[in-house]
A and B are shown apart, each in its own frame.
Chain A
Amino acid sequence: MTAERPDQDLPATVHDDGRYPTTTPLDGVLADQAPTRLPVVPVPSAGDHPALSIQGLAKAFGGKIAVDGISLDVPAGSFYGMVGPNGAGKTTTLSMATGLLRPDFGTALVHGVDVWANPLEAKKMMGILPDGVRLFDRLTGEQLVTYAGLLRGMDRDVVASRVGDLLRALDLGKDTGTLVVDYSAGMTKKIALASALIHAPKVLILDEPFESVDPVSAANIRSILDSYVASGGTVIVSSHVMDLVQRMCDHVAVVSGGRLLAAGTVDEVRGAMSLEDKFVELVGGRNETEGLEWLRTS
């Protein structure tokens, strides 16, 4: 936080009166999805604040420690992957970073704004796709995304035009009038993603965004996210598909047992190995396939 430039603290996408702007980088991204298109919006000066900075986050459920003091900085404009085995504390960490779960210890700052001290301002900058929560699934897909936009106090006409763009970009154009409860698992993921994108956030925090999404839709989502990052946004995804993270992300954090094992650019973390091999080396627990000699067809 620099005293000389206090304006820098204000999130770029939120006007001084707290209302949402009518045009944002995402509009351009969605209107023209060509992934090769060069960013027209300059990458924000990354010097001041990381997009997300968490310090010593910790949470225990009952006597069981789920997250044991995780600190990491996500640079603005990065595509950040968070990987870890099942039960590593990824979802818990992301929930605490996004204001959904109150941490026992630690702080989370989004572009310098404390999520827990100043939740309204922080939530305006974040688009969140939580994992394992229900949706208001008796609404149609179109109604659900509209609802998410209106809840954020956005203008109805802006919401309406963005909902159309988003649903088309996510291949949900045919199902706008279907109740979300009748969607398949992959479609449900996509509609939740649309709800997280509607307000053109500065930081996208996506928990397992590619789970049960078909390859074509996954490719579409990736190109949307790539353009979004190229235009200055920050994406944080959790996943346990290492291959995907290695191809998609430029930064990665490895979490296991509620602790941070490694963090940095993908190349720094993996060194000469593939990310998957490095991950197994860091986390451990790999069994050599012995003792299944009978599992042979001959």
Chain B
Amino acid sequence: MVAHLVRLKLTLLRNGLKRSPWQLVGLIFGGLYALGILGFLVAGLIALRGAEAELAQTIIVLGGVAALIGWAILPIVLSAADLTLDPARFTTSAIPMPQLLTGLAIGGLLGIPGAATAIAALATVATWSQTVLSALGALLGASIAVFTCIVLSKVVTSATVSLSSSRKFKDASGIIAFIPLMLLGPIFFFVSQGLQDSAAFLPDFARILSWTPLGATWSVGGDLAAGNVGAAVVKLVVALATLALLTWAWKVLLARALVTPAYSGGSSKSSKKLGLFGVFPGTPTGAVAARALTYWFRDPRYGGSLVVIPLLAVLLVFQASQSGNFEILAILGPLTAFLMAWSISADISYDNTAFALHLSTGVSGRADRLGRAWACLILSAPVVVIFAVGPFFFTGSWEWLPMVLGLSTGVLLSGLGLSSVVSARYNVAVPLPGDSPFKKPPGNTAQTLLVQFAGMGVLLLLVIPEIALLIAQSVTGQVLFGWLALAVGAILGGVLFSVGVRLGGRWLDARGPEMLAQLGVNR
């Protein structure tokens, strides 16, 4: 039975790859990346063999604890728990519990994260290969460690399955997970600074951790190498007890999960509130705008791109405070304008087949385009203005304000016009409705990239007048060019916006059914 489960997992992995060659390409790149990092890790662990024993012990224990915590947290945060062997699917096939547990645990090893953890853990055997005893101890410790990681992750995912299958949690975690990813640079900076400041404290910290269930299993080899046989035996007992306890908890949770499937329904609510539909004009354009704006707040795929904007500001301010040069903050306005305008360039792809409603009601392409652009404009105009003006409180070079405002306006309006055309014509690969914004979207990645790059190139062409005026002001220092840019940005931008909406609307009217047929492919 265990062999059956393992074979099932392998078959699922293989069939997953067969679905499209692109997935294989993605796996190869992901695998190469993981392999590179893994290579570094293994080489480092082997090199630690020659290093001071205390240093090696500190690094391995802290690294091991970090890996364990990662296995516990990442599946929930990324809502990417490995569901290929979802216990809920075995409810109807009566598999004895011990065999189910063993099968699922070994199944968890197969796959990139499991294999990488196992290889890195086994590399610690090389670190502690000074004596046969310490090598054996490290081997034992590493094996326990790997299974502790997997079982811990299973415990956490089965304990939170009802939480993590609720839509609201999925929505929130999808957006929140963006934040640490975006702020990776500053976080890395502060953590490394903190580590430098507390370098003296780390060995003690590792020593304390090594007596806890988190670190015990990682320190067995090191203690044996240092000759502390008694400590090693106690830690081995702690490690085994931890694994046993976690396995028992998993068994209890799994037994419960097998008889009570996750309930993910919401409570019913009745209200007489139409939300934004009561605020916008009761026209097709107003309805589209109300719907689009509602989605900006309710759909995590849109929320994800919204949350990027303030983080970007934080990132730039951090960058500027590091270098002491605040002039760079001036790009915040135009950059935000670009990001916001471009964010609706795949709007119909985000709708997916829900777009059928627009087609069956016969709403005009122009109302569709204008409503979406309008919603985005309402949302982005205040943000862009704040981000365009804000930096001048840092720099004080107010003579550039008209220029930056003009460039931001030009980029925003021209960009919205361009996005209205692009999203009416091209179906690009985006995460499906309800999926995490992180999830790799199905569909034609090559076309998506081509559309994105070509679109950005065209936008650059559209704002050439503003850029020319920017260069003129840099060379001559005349503020007049800044005021000209403000006028050009508003007028030319306005014209391009309206041309984009009309052209996009006409294309959509002509090709609506074809668009829907393409959207149906990516379901």
What residues make up the interface of A, taking CB atoms closer than 8 Å to B? 98-102, 119-120, 123-124, 126, 128, 130, 132-140, 142-143, 146-148, 150-153, 155-156, 159-160, 173-179, 181-182, 184, 195-196
Q: How long is the Cα–Cα vector from A265 to B168 in the complex, in angstroms?
A: 50
Q: Who on chain A is nearest to B280 by CB?
A: A150
Partner of B360, one of A98, A102, A150, A181: A98
3 shortest interchain CB distances as A-B pairs: A177-B271, A156-B282, A150-B287
The answer to whether A150 touches B286, judged by C-beta atoms less than 8 angstroms apart, is yes
Q: How long is the Cα–Cα vector from A184 to B266 in the complex, in angstroms?
A: 10
Report if B352 contacts A (CB, 8 A): yes
Partner of A182, one of B167, B274, B291: B167
Report if B260 contacts A (CB, 8 A): no
The answer to whether A123 touches B277, judged by C-beta atoms less than 8 angstroms apart, is no
Partner of A153, one of B283, B352, B356, B516: B283
Asked whether A137 and B354 contact (CB < 8 A) given A102-B513, A143-B294, A150-B286, the answer is yes
Q: How long is the Cα–Cα vector from A140 to B273 in the complex, in angstroms?
A: 9
A131 to chain B, nearest CB (A): 10
Asked whether A148 and B167 contact (CB < 8 A) given A124-B362, A138-B295, the answer is no
Q: Who on chain A is nearest to B292 by CB?
A: A136
B510 to chain A, nearest CB (A): 11
The answer to whether B284 touches A146, judged by C-beta atoms less than 8 angstroms apart, is no
Residues of chain A lying within 8 A (CB to CB) of residue B362: 99, 119-120, 123-124, 152
Report if B198 contacts A (CB, 8 A): no
Report if B298 contacts A (CB, 8 A): yes
Q: Chain B interface secondary structure, helix, strand, loop or mixed?
A: helix
Asked whether A151 and B433 contact (CB < 8 A) given A100-B513, A177-B271, A182-B266, the answer is no
Report if B275 contacts A (CB, 8 A): yes
The answer to whether A146 touches B352, judged by C-beta atoms less than 8 angstroms apart, is no
The answer to whether A99 touches B513, judged by C-beta atoms less than 8 angstroms apart, is yes
The answer to whether A150 touches B294, judged by C-beta atoms less than 8 angstroms apart, is no
Report if B299 contacts A (CB, 8 A): yes
A270 to chain B, nearest CB (A): 32
Report if B363 contacts A (CB, 8 A): yes
Q: How long is the Cα–Cα vector from A53 to B436 in the complex, in angstroms?
A: 44
The answer to whether B269 touches A134, judged by C-beta atoms less than 8 angstroms apart, is no
Residues of chain B lying within 8 A (CB to CB) of residue A173: 270
Residues of chain A lying within 8 A (CB to CB) of residue B277: 143, 146-147, 150
The answer to whether B282 touches A100, judged by C-beta atoms less than 8 angstroms apart, is no
Residues of chain A lying within 8 A (CB to CB) of residue B299: 138
The answer to whether B358 touches A151, judged by C-beta atoms less than 8 angstroms apart, is yes
The answer to whether B357 touches A135, judged by C-beta atoms less than 8 angstroms apart, is yes
Q: How long is the Cα–Cα vector from A182 to B170 in the complex, in angstroms?
A: 13
Residues of chain B lying within 8 A (CB to CB) of residue A140: 269, 271, 275
Q: How long is the Cα–Cα vector from A176 to B273 in the complex, in angstroms?
A: 9
Other A-B contacts than A138-B298, A178-B269, 8 sampled, CB-CB below 8 A, are: A130-B356, A135-B354, A135-B357, A136-B354, A137-B354, A150-B277, A153-B363, A174-B268
Report if B361 contacts A (CB, 8 A): yes
The answer to whether A177 touches B273, judged by C-beta atoms less than 8 angstroms apart, is yes
Q: Who on chain A is nearest to B267 by CB?
A: A178
Interface residues on B, range: 35 or more
Asked whether A100 and B359 contact (CB < 8 A) given A150-B284, A174-B268, A178-B268, the answer is yes
Residues of chain B lying within 8 A (CB to CB) of residue A182: 167, 265-266
Q: How long is the Cα–Cα vector from A177 to B275 in the complex, in angstroms?
A: 10
Q: How long is the Cα–Cα vector from A100 to B511 in the complex, in angstroms?
A: 11
Q: How long is the Cα–Cα vector from A263 to B298 in the complex, in angstroms?
A: 47
Residues of chain B lying within 8 A (CB to CB) of residue A102: 513-514, 517
Report if B384 contacts A (CB, 8 A): no
Interface string of B349-375 (1 = CB under 8 A from A): 001111011111111000000000000
Interface centre among A135, A143, A181 (most CB of B within 10 A): A143
The answer to whether B352 touches A134, judged by C-beta atoms less than 8 angstroms apart, is yes
Q: How long is the Cα–Cα vector from A159 to B35 in the complex, in angstroms?
A: 59
Report if B111 contacts A (CB, 8 A): no
The answer to whether A101 touches B271, judged by C-beta atoms less than 8 angstroms apart, is no
A-B contact pairs, 5 of them (CB 8 A): A120-B362, A138-B298, A147-B277, A148-B357, A151-B358
The answer to whether A175 touches B288, judged by C-beta atoms less than 8 angstroms apart, is no
Report if B30 contacts A (CB, 8 A): no
Q: How long is the Cα–Cα vector from A70 to B130 in the complex, in angstroms?
A: 81
Q: How long is the Cα–Cα vector from A134 to B350 in the complex, in angstroms?
A: 11
Q: Who on chain A is nearest to B432 by CB?
A: A134
B294 to chain A, nearest CB (A): 6
Report if B434 contacts A (CB, 8 A): yes
B282 to chain A, nearest CB (A): 3
Interface residues of B in 193-223 (CB under 8 A from A): none
B27 to chain A, nearest CB (A): 27
The answer to whether B356 touches A133, judged by C-beta atoms less than 8 angstroms apart, is yes
The answer to whether A134 touches B353, judged by C-beta atoms less than 8 angstroms apart, is yes
A171 to chain B, nearest CB (A): 11
Interface residues of B in 285-338 (CB under 8 A from A): 286-288, 290-291, 294-295, 298-299
Asked whether A100 and B363 contact (CB < 8 A) given A143-B275, A143-B294, the answer is no
Q: Who on chain A is nearest to B295 by CB?
A: A138
Asked whether A138 and B294 contact (CB < 8 A) given A100-B356, A147-B277, the answer is yes
Q: Who on chain A is nearest to B434 by CB?
A: A181
Q: How long is the Cα–Cα vector from A176 to B265 in the complex, in angstroms?
A: 15
Residues of chain A lying within 8 A (CB to CB) of residue B352: 134
The answer to whether B360 touches A100, judged by C-beta atoms less than 8 angstroms apart, is yes
Residues of chain B lying within 8 A (CB to CB) of residue A175: 268-270
Q: How long is the Cα–Cα vector from A99 to B357 in the complex, in angstroms?
A: 11
The answer to whether A99 touches B359, judged by C-beta atoms less than 8 angstroms apart, is yes
Interface residues of B in 120-150 (CB under 8 A from A): none
Q: How long is the Cα–Cα vector from A181 to B291 in the complex, in angstroms?
A: 15
The answer to whether B291 touches A147, judged by C-beta atoms less than 8 angstroms apart, is yes
The answer to whether A179 touches B266, judged by C-beta atoms less than 8 angstroms apart, is yes
Q: How long is the Cα–Cα vector from A143 to B275 in the complex, in angstroms?
A: 8
Partner of B298, one of A99, A133, A146, A179: A179
Asked whether A146 and B274 contact (CB < 8 A) given A100-B359, A137-B354, A137-B433, the answer is yes
Interface centre among A130, A139, A159 (most CB of B within 10 A): A139
Interface residues of B in 241-278 (CB under 8 A from A): 265-275, 277
Q: Who on chain B is nearest to A184 by CB?
A: B265
Residues of chain A lying within 8 A (CB to CB) of residue B294: 138-139, 143
Q: How long is the Cα–Cα vector from A98 to B273 in the complex, in angstroms?
A: 32
The answer to whether B266 touches A151, judged by C-beta atoms less than 8 angstroms apart, is no
Residues of chain B lying within 8 A (CB to CB) of residue A134: 351-354, 356, 433
Residues of chain B lying within 8 A (CB to CB) of residue A150: 277, 282-284, 286-287
Q: How long is the Cα–Cα vector from A278 to B11 in the complex, in angstroms?
A: 43
The answer to whether B269 touches A128, judged by C-beta atoms less than 8 angstroms apart, is no
Residues of chain A lying within 8 A (CB to CB) of residue B271: 140, 142, 176-177
Q: How long is the Cα–Cα vector from A142 to B520 in the complex, in angstroms?
A: 26
The answer to whether A128 touches B354, judged by C-beta atoms less than 8 angstroms apart, is no
B374 to chain A, nearest CB (A): 14
Interface centre among A100, A134, A142, A174 (most CB of B within 10 A): A134
